[in-house]
Amino acid sequence: MADANALMAEFCGWPVSDAGTYTMESATYTAHLRPRPGERRVLDIPHGLITAITSAHMDPSWNVSIASAYGAAAEVAAGYRVLDARARELWLGSTATPYSIWRTDARANRVIYVGGFAADAPEILPIAADAVRHLLERPRVGSAVAISQGGQSVTRSDSDALLPASVRNALAPWVVWSSRVG
């Protein structure tokens, strides 16, 4: 199951969690983001399912004293930021202190967030089960061009993929498509 979980998260373009793993399950992430060109009040969060913002910091001088980087004074209070989880955006209020726009300096904006599915989420369980079944049955295809068993057929090209087309298609709503560009 862990292999399928990691493969699905990698396919979706989700980042590595703070624990150092790819996962579709709920985990904590730290991102250093730059604002969107043309709209500096918004940060695009590169994750397919954001559930909460733990904290957001804005500190253009974060590297002056590494020991005190992103201190309490640099935190953007929850009342000054709005998460649009569906659009995967973190907006900054126009009266946010000390700045009303996100900084463009490297690593000046740090967002710690929680993203992913609960372990028993009904949206993802059948998809994960299909991925696990595919990985377990993969060696059985051998050199056949196509096989059919129990009313299901698998072509050689689909069996060569680590995730079958059915899983890749089902994951589409949670794919970070910008991770596929550039």
Q: What is the pTM of this model?
A: 0.82
CA distance 65 to 55: 20
Q: Under a CB-based contact definition with an 8 Å cutoff, are residues 49 and 116 in contact?
A: yes
Q: What is the DSSP letter of 117?
A: B
Q: Where are the alpha helices (DSSP H) in the chain?
A: 2-12, 125-137, 156-160, 165-170
Torsion of CA 140, 146, 148, 154, to 10 degrees: 80
Residue 91's beta-bridge partner residues? 42, 82
pLDDT tens digits along 80-105: 999 999 999 999 987 776 678 899 98
CA distance 160 to 180: 21
> Strands 89-92, 152-155: parallel, antiparallel or unpaired by DSSP?
unpaired
pLDDT tens digits along 15-65: 999 999 999 999 999 999 999 999 999 999 999 999 999 999 988 777 776
